[in-house]
Chains A and B, each alone.
With several copies, the nearest count.
Chain A
């Protein structure tokens, strides 16, 4: 009786994504990013995208691939270093950038999915992030009013998923993925392992399937490491 959200591949999953749309893309740095869907967006050639994503990838991976093709018009992020093409487009004015404190970004995505249109947070008060925003004192401390974020499509990456769209993430690859999954009008989940319903423990689901409209098993995950750091054995 559980619903079936399975689509064949990234091509089918991304159907309907159009130029000019707002997309949320999960991941922190290159960790937990929807590699297959990003490749498909490059293939589709959709342009003028507004991308809500904590970071903007590196020059030749992650959202950097879309930046290279000038498919992104606006980035809404908390940190966009490690990307020269991004810097060039930003300084030349080709790319619009909206920088948001990381916690506010996360909470605004959750709020968008949770039907909370706005909330107060202390982050950014007294800085340029707070400019033009309503200020209110709670418990002696100033807070600013932040609004919810939503997207036409949210694209997330999980470790395991079932046909009903339930998702389990791995380690810190979870990051923004569950929050963005909540906030997409349509949410696409790509997973490393797609299993039949009943194989995931219902007690251990990170994203309940109600938030996911399309799910597919991705392939050839590169999972590039941005800062490989090790110690001696």
Chain B
């Protein structure tokens, strides 16, 4: 079973040289720590920076330089700043090659719910609806089940949707799933996790091939 860093590490293997990548808040942010050797990617943050670098060294924080999570950041050589319309032009125009997002629920046709729980305070969707509606390649980083042990990998989402038919891949603490043809296709098991565990934790339609390899978590 993977921890959050393990999920991020597995997702990082999906990066390809030359990708522009938008990482959501939470587990997705951790992906930046596991970029494979020999791969150059550039991070976009939708509040208006391309070429986002690591957090600043203490004392060097610039209140005018933050990411979409409102955290102080730095800019790498070759960075660019821009306004919010330009930022979402990049996103809607499919210039960002990979978006990694968290989710509360994902359905077998690729719907995603990650912004609103009825009866609870609604904070808003921020840029999530633009991202999921636009990205060519969306990977969801999430836990397979909720705290009550109920599956979040569903036939249909029960929560209000963020986007429809958009998620291509899900990486959880248990598995890597590909979404196509109205089903989750089990691609990989997490280390030490059995196919049975995954089947038990998955409420949506799951296609299980004869052989399901264990993830190879490269350094």
Taking beta carbons and an 8 Å cutoff, which residues of A are in contact with B?
A: 1-4, 28-32, 54, 77-81, 87, 90-91, 97, 99, 101-107, 109-110, 112-116, 121-129, 159, 162-164, 166, 169-179, 182, 196-198, 202-203, 205-206, 208-211, 223-233
Contacts and interface: CB of A to CB of B under 8 A. Distances in A.
A177 B67 CA distance: 16
Nearest to A90: B121
A28 B78 contact: no
B50 A197 contact: no
18 contacts: A1-B53, A78-B126, A99-B122, A99-B125, A102-B125, A102-B126, A104-B88, A104-B129, A107-B88, A115-B92, A115-B94, A129-B125, A164-B78, A172-B67, A172-B81, A205-B80, A206-B83, A210-B90
Top-9 shortest CB links A-B: A115-B92, A2-B78, A103-B88, A198-B77, A197-B78, A103-B130, A114-B89, A126-B164, A164-B78
B85 A106 contact: yes
A28 B90 CA distance: 18
A78 B91 CA distance: 16
A64 B78 CA distance: 35
Contact of A172 (B49, B57, B128): B49
A202 to B, nearest CB: 4
Contacts of A179: 83-85
Given A124-B129, A129-B129, A230-B56, 5 more contacts: A101-B126, A127-B129, A198-B78, A208-B82, A225-B61
Contacts of A177: 83
Given A101-B127, A172-B48, A229 B83 contact: no
Interface in B57-112: 57-67, 69-73, 75-96, 111
Interface in B129-146: 129-130, 133-134
B64 A32 contact: yes
Interface residues of B, number: 74
B42 interface: yes
B84 A28 contact: yes
Contacts of B64: 31-32, 159, 170-173, 223
Contacts of B63: 30-31, 173, 223-225
Interface string B38-57: 00111011111111011111
Given A99-B124, A197-B77, A171 B85 contact: no
Nearest to A106: B84
B48 A78 contact: no
B145 to A, nearest CB: 24
Contacts of B129: 101, 103-104, 123-124, 127, 129
B91 A103 contact: yes
A118 to B, nearest CB: 13
Interface of B: 18, 20, 40-42, 44-51, 53-67, 69-73, 75-96, 111, 121-130, 133-134, 160-165
Given A31-B64, A127-B160, A231 B57 contact: yes
Given A164-B42, A172-B49, A206-B83, A103 B127 contact: yes
Contacts of B126: 78-79, 101-102
A88 B84 CA distance: 29
A231 B95 CA distance: 30
Contacts of A226: 66, 70
A81 B123 contact: yes
A171 B126 CA distance: 20
A34 B168 CA distance: 39
A113 B84 contact: no
B83 A175 contact: yes
Nearest to B35: A1
B66 to A, nearest CB: 5
B18 to A, nearest CB: 6
A107 B124 contact: no
A121 to B, nearest CB: 7
A162 B77 CA distance: 10
Contacts of B20: 3, 210
A97 B116 CA distance: 14
A172 B66 contact: yes
A4 B96 CA distance: 16
